Structure 1
Amino acid sequence: MEEHVSAYVAREQKKPLPPPPTEAGALAVLRKNLFATPLDSIVTILLGLFSVWAAWRIFDWSVLSAVFTGSSREACLAGDGAPVGACWAFVRAKFGLFTYGLYPVDERWRVDLTMLLLVAFTLPFAIPRVPFKGLNLFLLVGAFPLIALVLLTGGQFRIGGGWVAFMFILAAFVSTMLAAGNLNAPPGWLRVATWLAAIAVLVLIVSNILPSGQFRLLVFSFTTLSLVAFLLAVASIAVSAFASVSSSGKHASVLMHVLLPPLYVAALLVLLAGDLGLQPVPTSRWGGLLVTLVVALTGIAASLPLGILLALGRRSHLPAIRLLSVVFIEFWRGVPLITVLFMSAFMIPLLLPSGVSFNQLLRALLGVALFSAAYMAEVVRGGLQAVPKGQYEGAQALGLGYWQMMRLVVMPQAIKLVIPGIVNTFIGLFKDTSLVYIIGLADLLGAVRRGFSDPNWITPTTPASGLVFAGFVFWLFCFGMSRYSIFMERRLETGHKN
């Protein structure tokens, strides 16, 4: 009996049988996801037919029946009743308007050079494996805005002595904070530098109230009191540098850090006020993709640091700072962006002192930056709340101060957690730049709409062609930001997978 049973017992492991043909391969996937039930099959067939029909109509309109060449509207009109699709000849003829606006043709190389520098500085910083991130960050954040401003405007700004003093006072405070980072710096000298900068602020405020004589230093016109404020700021910088050098053996390294802010301000003033041989181009002649990128990049670059500061302020234990942050965030979040743009265009000039004026583009940039900063603050605050409390306690147990704890421990984790929210805010900001058209700035969409009014290109298909082109450009930039955010999420992912 046992020998009879053993004939049915396997003496070695059998190879697994392949799955049935209906359970594997492309046919199985289609059957499971698209044709699982009769209702699924009907819906799949109907949607498939509709998709094929829509794709064919779009392809026919954009390629087969489209007009790619021509010098006037006659090229995009049906002569013998034949259907005419997209008028890409209109986009081709107005491409310069869509890209540069009314920027002078002979000077458009400056816009091209600016965009080329933007790509050259951004790509190495965006690629993780490229070395020298510190130098690249300085070129992208510190040098590029200055170079772009001079290239696009041509420089030769009329800068009053009050603005010179104000910028050097800011540099003095930054230099003092950098000197305070040197633990061996004598606190007495740092207090002297701080008091000199504070007195300079008071003198500068008084200079806007009391009239005084005029002095000319290089190409800048100072009043007596603004010149005193400027000299006090320079003295504050000198004291900070002396305090740091006298307590450190690395003189060159300390001087490079402490004197970097005033040197940057000096270079900024020289480039803005100096004559570099470039033809001045007012911002009223900017337009198209140039204005879209300027508004979007300025809003993005300003909203993230401002949003971080506002998020920290809203979580601060100091009631005054917390209250101011809450009021700022709730005010700007409660006002539509269109209202903000109108306020920036018409109310900012009323709030400025006599003799000071901002052009239309600068007012729009200020409004967009403040508006987007309020939304960014809430995104960052969500990341700060998601960081476990143990991270804060561990940083404090190591003896880290508040700013060290935020910079080294908390903020990197918070930013990593809210990358989708940050990029989502950036994408929304990029698309909202089209609203500046209502205050007279011809961004990409505004330039396209202005092209519709050209009598040489008025055809039934011209508006659709121009809007499709503008929509594709917006989609291209937004899709690029989305894909890069996904790449960074995967690279920074530190979770444990089973």
Structure 2
Amino acid sequence: MSIHNPAYVRREMTSARPAPQKTRGLSHWLRANLLATPKDVVLTLLAIAALAYILPQLVQWLFIDAVWVGTDRAACSTIAQGGVLPDGQSGACWAFIGAKFQQFIFGRYPEPERWRVLLVMAMFAVLLVPMLMPKAPFKGWNALALFIALPLVSFFLLTGGFGLPHVETQLWGGLMVTLILSYFGIVVSLPVGIILAMGRRSNMPVIKILCVTFIEVIRGVPLITVLFMASVMLPLFLPDGWTFDKLLRALIGVSIFASAYMAEVIRAGLQAIPKGQFEGADSLGLSYWHKMRLIILPQAIKLVIPGIVNTFIGLFKDTSLVSIIGMFDLLGIANLNQADPAWATPTTPVTGYIFTGVIFWVFCFGMSRYSQFMERHLDTGHKH
């Protein structure tokens, strides 16, 4: 059919269309996420009704009726319970958190020596912040200081040496132990996981079998079992007179467990790389290690950033399981202090768990938001 057929030629202008709605701002977000369809409107109204019912009572218990100052359980107990509060009025016992706050942070670390812990935390923050900034200079030196120098300096600061009094690791606890375990586990699990993932994809049968066996065995048992074996079974294989510090056993167990899961995350990224990338690297004459370091691994790790951060978040929360071997992390210290008869009230345990839960949430939410930032920063596949 001829393209000059008049039936295919418009003879009049189309009517003007309304201006497009705003695609930014609060109103657009509400329309797109909460009010897009009638079902969304109904669910939004139900959620608002549930929040209107729950939030006032929660705010009342957490803040309005809460006890902020006190020296013992009497401040958070009703008259019927032997305290000073009117019967029927009981809120969160934040006085308990205030009285035990330093133990939540330092555990039973000697009070005159706690400046050493604060110094280590300050050095960690100073080195971590520029490491997280993509455009910060001297990344190599920063990484060397954060992952090599800081652990060595922290070891002598926290345990003692060079004139500092010795502090046994049995006295360590609280947020301090949680951060140490998670930091060590993260630093070790990523490189070990990468090596295991490459070993699992290796063409050498012995290397592949060893890596597959390690990964499947560790992933097939719970972390509690790994910690128990690291704490109880590991010393049985050492020569007579040799022993491992309890904290070191926990570090080994947590790192081994996280490395097995990290290996599978990295392997997923390696399998997602197109075969042409491997062939292109081979055509350039690159060796295996240059190919992996310069071309394959950067792309693979970028693809699995959500999985890596998810493993880190799980590791951070799983540190609470070290209580099975007698280590008192943040949650363990909360449980330990709730048994104090001086603060035995019905609201003390709930308040302690809420406090520890908020701390865990802050750290995990921070890692999650940073991973989303890095995903956006590294998402260059569709940029012009």
What is the CA-CA distance between 1:33 and the residue it aligns to? 4.5
Match of residue 101 from structure 1: 107
CA distance in structure 2 between the aligned counterparts of 1:29 and 1:401, rounded to whole angstroms: 53
Greater Cα offset, 82-91 or 461-470: 82-91
CA distance in structure 2 between the aligned counterparts of 1:128 and 1:28, rounded to whole angstroms: 29
Q: Deviations over 1:244-302 (max 9, x none)?
A: xxxxxxxxxxxxxxxxxxxxxxxxxxxxxxxx110100100000001111111111111
Residue 53 (structure 2) pairs with residue 47 (structure 1): no
Which structure is larger by alpha-carbon Rg, 1 or 2? 1
Q: Deviations over 1:189-232 (max 9, x none)?
A: xxxxxxxxxxxxxxxxxxxxxxxxxxxxxxxxxxxxxxxxxxxx
What is the CA-CA distance between 1:380 and the residue it aligns to? 0.4
The 1:388–1:35 alpha-carbon spacing in structure 2 relative to 1, beyond 3 Å, is closer
Which of 206, 224, 231 in structure 2 is aligned with 1:338? 224
Q: Deviations over 1:347-401 (max 9, x none)?
A: 0110111221101111111111111101000000011111111111111111111
Match of residue 312 from structure 2: 426
Match of residue 71 from structure 2: 71
Match of residue 140 from structure 2: 134
What is the CA-CA distance between 1:80 and the residue it aligns to? 2.3
User: What does residue range 427-442 of structure 1 map to in structure 2 within 5 Å?
Assistant: 427-442=313-328
User: What does residue range 19-418 of structure 1 map to in structure 2 within 5 Å?
Assistant: 26=27, 33-34=34-35, 36-37=37-38, 43-78=43-78, 79-155=85-161, 276-418=162-304
Identity of aligned residues (%): 53
Match of residue 480 from structure 1: 366
Match of residue 166 from structure 1: none
Amino acid of the residue matched to residue 455 of structure 1? Answer: P
8 Å CA contact retained: 2:334, 2:352: yes
CA distance in structure 2 between the aligned counterparts of 1:426 and 1:463, rounded to whole angstroms: 28
8 Å CA contact retained: 1:35, 1:44: no
CA distance in structure 2 between the aligned counterparts of 1:29 and 1:349, rounded to whole angstroms: 59
Q: Deviations over 1:150-196 (max 9, x none)?
A: 111003xxxxxxxxxxxxxxxxxxxxxxxxxxxxxxxxxxxxxxxxx
CA distance in structure 2 between the aligned counterparts of 1:317 and 1:453, rounded to whole angstroms: 56
Q: Deviations over 1:438-484 (max 9, x none)?
A: 11100000000001011111111000000000000000100011011
Q: Which runs of 5+ in 1 are unaligned?
A: 1-8, 156-275
What is the CA-CA distance between 1:15 and the residue it aligns to? 7.0
CA distance in structure 2 between the aligned counterparts of 1:418 and 1:41, rounded to whole angstroms: 35
The 1:489–1:36 alpha-carbon spacing in structure 2 relative to 1, beyond 3 Å, is closer
What is the CA-CA distance between 1:62 and the residue it aligns to? 0.9
Q: Deviations over 1:112-145 (max 9, x none)?
A: 0000000111111111121111111111111001
CA distance in structure 2 between the aligned counterparts of 1:29 and 1:297, rounded to whole angstroms: 39
Which SS does the other structure have where 1:494 is aligned?
coil
8 Å CA contact retained: 1:62, 1:86: yes
CA distance in structure 1 between the aligned counterparts of 2:132 and 2:31, rounded to whole angstroms: 39
Query: How many aligned residue pairs are there?
Result: 364
CA distance in structure 1 between the aligned counterparts of 2:42 and 2:138, rounded to whole angstroms: 58
Which SS does the other structure have where 2:328 is aligned?
coil
CA distance in structure 2 between the aligned counterparts of 1:292 and 1:450, rounded to whole angstroms: 15
8 Å CA contact retained: 2:302, 2:378: yes
TM-score normalised by the chain length of structure 2 = 0.90
What is the CA-CA distance between 1:47 and the residue it aligns to? 3.0
